[in-house]
């Protein structure tokens, strides 16, 4: 069971009734009064300072034993006594009267919980740990407090004053959204926060006169990294927040869209695996073109780096032919991320002086030129993408062209994710040990002397559970808005 993050509108008829007169009730009273709530406190024994506080802000205090009738005027009931049996009685009575109720420190008897809050005028930030740890919620609150200017509400009021003039000058929703993004991320907002209103007005007028009034299309190929949700770049998150449409791969960290994409953006799963394509590459190209023609900002969100085995040239060509601006935003490719998470370098002094990023298809098995090229790379690090199912054939081929059986090799499964796992051997022993193992995709095969550093430099603990992290956490649903 979860909690929906909602902000409850308080009006003149909204009344909170707190049952209890001790320190817990006092704490809840302070919280509610800060929000502008109408308050009544009922308790057989009420702290004098609580009585003075509540009455001093226009609330009422009733010193009496609890009775269900006291709940009749309540919109919301809070049970804050130190008697567990009485709190449960209050909960049952409140529910019988159709009231929302919170029993302090008893999540099972709560319709809602109070978050840790940051309030700057009309600007509020609420943090919840779903009742698991109020201390954790408060710790997160402190971190956010450091980030927010004390007078951030001044910026909110300034925006409120400017909304109509922006709406009058910029007719399209996308145009207004992008304009406000630029204002808030740039110097204008900072001038408002600093109290330099005249300068802010000048900059605002100039920015508004120069802002495109119509919607505009753009294509951004954004690398999301190999799986760890924090490995996307700052630039990637910025563009994801601008997108009207996000076409995302299967191997995308599950909460990236929730973190950085706009709720209103159209999100379309276009991921592929060896046995299942939600969308073919032709269908993806058609989607990109369709949305660009509608003057949408399209983010093609790719696992790893968009320039590594990711059809980047084909997709950029669509934007080029339409005359639409496009960019590549690099990401941490799997070779870099997985090796780092496994604790070994891809090159080393007096060892591997180069890295080859490779994949191969069935026809490659019969290409003499391909295998001849690898004969010259026995002192390099080889990183094979998308070849796990043919690993036995690959290893046999490498041994046949002169690779030493003692050459270290490791398969990294679901690299950088919570289910990151490593399977190390040598070329001479790998098939014997792992020949029949069904690895969970995505996997990466790394071959070379650098793998030996993993034994002494690994810093990750093994995953507690071996499961498909992406399948568990990602909904493969097409056209989710």
413-433 pLDDT, tens digit per residue, is 999 999 999 999 999 999 999
C-alpha dihedral sign at 345, 347, 351, 355 = positive
> What is the percent of the chain with per-residue pLDDT over 70, rounded to a whole number?
97
**Distant-in-sequence contacts of 261-264, Cβ < 8 A, 24+ apart:** 261/299, 264/481
481 pLDDT band, cuts 50/70/90, is very low
Residue 477 has pLDDT above 50, yes or no: no
Q: How far apart are CA 54 and CA 57, in angstroms?
A: 6
* pLDDT (tens digit per residue) in 245-302: 999 998 898 789 989 999 899 999 998 665 555 789 999 999 999 999 999 999 999 9
pLDDT bucket at 76, cuts 50 / 70 / 90: very high
Q: What is the mean pLDDT of residues 73-84?
A: 94
Query: Does the annotation count 249 as an active-site position?
Result: yes
Domain 218-332 sits in CATH at 3.40.1010.10
- Tell me which of 281 and 364 has the higher pLDDT: 281
Catalytic site residue from 51, 95, 199, 272: 272
Half-sphere exposure of 16 (CA within 13 A, CB side): 26
What are the sequence ranges of the domains in the chain?
Answer: 15-114, 152-210, 218-332, 336-457
Distance CA 341, CA 231 (A): 12
Q: Phi and psi at residue 410, in whole multiples of 5°?
A: -145, 140
Q: What's the whole-number mean pLDDT along residues 406-412?
A: 97
Q: Rounded CA gap, 357 and 367, in Å?
A: 18
Please, which pLDDT band fits residue 476 given cuts at 50, 70 and 90? very low
Whether 152-210 shares its CATH topology with 336-457 is answered no
Contact 293, 322 (CB under 8 A): yes
pLDDT tens digits, 208-218:
999 988 889 99
Is the pLDDT confidence value at 164 over 50? yes
pLDDT above 80 (res 479)? no
Task: Please state which of the four CATH numbers 1.10.8, 1.20.120, 3.30.1490, 1.10.10 is assigned to the domain occupying 152-210.
Answer: 1.10.8
What's the pLDDT tens digit per position in 91-110?
999 999 999 999 998 888 99
pLDDT-above-90 percentage for the chain = 71
pLDDT, position 275 = 56
- E-only strand ranges, 211-361: 218-223, 245-248, 266-269, 297-302, 326-329, 355-358
What's the sign of the alpha-carbon dihedral 59, 63, 69, 75? positive
3-class SS of residue 66 = coil
Q: Is the pLDDT of residue 480 over 80?
A: no
For the segment 194-203, the average pLDDT, to the nearest whole number, is 95
Mean pLDDT, rounded, for 292-315? 96
Q: At 475, is the pLDDT very low, low, confident or very high (cuts 50, 70, 90)?
A: low
Mean pLDDT of the chain: 91
118-142 pLDDT per residue, tens: 888 888 899 988 878 888 988 999 9
Please give the pLDDT value at position 204: 96
Q: What CATH number labels 336-457? A: 3.30.950.10
Q: According to CATH, what is the number of the domain 15-114?
A: 3.40.50.720
Q: Choosing from 93, 99, 244, 249, which is the catalytic residue?
A: 249
């Amino acid at each position: 069971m979860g909690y929906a993050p909602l902000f409850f509108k308080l009006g003149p008829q909204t009344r909170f009734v707190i049952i209890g007169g001790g320190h817990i009730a006092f704490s809840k009273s302070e919280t509610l009064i800060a929000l502008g709530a109408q308050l009544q406190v009922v308790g057989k024994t009420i702290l004098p300072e609580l009585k003075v506080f509540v009455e001093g802000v226009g609330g009422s205090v009733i010193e009496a034993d609890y009775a269900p009738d006291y709940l009749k005027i309540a919109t919301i009931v809070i049970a804050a006594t130190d008697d567990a049996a009485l709190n449960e009685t209050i909960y049952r009575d409140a529910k019988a009267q159709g009231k929302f109720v919170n029993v302090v420190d008893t999540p099972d008897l709560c319709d809602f919980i109070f978050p840790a809050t940051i309030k700057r005028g009309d600007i509020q930030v609420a943090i919840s740990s779903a009742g698991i740890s109020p201390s954790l919620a408060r710790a997160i609150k402190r971190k956010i407090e450091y980030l927010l200017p004390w007078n951030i509400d001044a910026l909110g009021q300034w925006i409120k004053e400017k909304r109509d003039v922006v709406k009058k000058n910029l007719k399209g929703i996308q145009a207004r959204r992008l304009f406000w993004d630029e204002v808030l991320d740039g110097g204008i907002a900072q001038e408002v926060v600093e109290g330099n209103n005249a300068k802010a007005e000048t900059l605002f007028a100039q920015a508004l006169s120069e802002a495109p009034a119509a919607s505009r299309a753009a294509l951004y190929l954004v690398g999301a990294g190999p799986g760890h949700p924090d490995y996307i770049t700052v630039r990637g998150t910025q563009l994801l927040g601008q997108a009207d449409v996000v076409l995302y791969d299967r191997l995308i960290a599950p909460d990236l869209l929730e973190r950085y994409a706009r709720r209103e953006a159209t999100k379309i799963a276009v991921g592929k695996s060896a046995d299942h394509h939600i969308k073919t590459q032709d269908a993806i190209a058609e989607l990109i073109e369709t949305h660009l023609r509608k003057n949408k900002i399209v983010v093609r969100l790719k696992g790893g780096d968009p320039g590594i085995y990711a059809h980047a040239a084909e997709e950029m060509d669509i934007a080029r032919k339409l005359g639409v601006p496009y960019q590549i935003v690099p990401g941490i490719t799997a070779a870099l991320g997985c090796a780092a998470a496994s604790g070994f370098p891809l090159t080393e002094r007096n060892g591997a002086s180069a890295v080859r990023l490779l994949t191969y298809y069935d026809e490659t098995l019969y290409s003499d030129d391909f295998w001849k090229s690898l004969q010259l790379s026995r002192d390099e690090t080889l990183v094979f993408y998308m070849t796990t199912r043919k690993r036995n054939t690959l290893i046999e081929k490498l041994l046949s062209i002169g690779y030493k059986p003692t050459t270290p090799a490791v398969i990294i499964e679901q690299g950088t994710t919570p289910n990151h796992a490593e399977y190390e051997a040598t070329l001479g022993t790998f098939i014997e040990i792992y020949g029949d193992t069904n690895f969970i995709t995505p996997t990466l095969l790394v071959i070379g002397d650098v793998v030996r550093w993993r034994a002494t430099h690994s810093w990750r603990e093994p995953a507690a559970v071996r499961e498909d992290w992406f399948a568990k956490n990602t909904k493969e649903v097409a056209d989710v808005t």
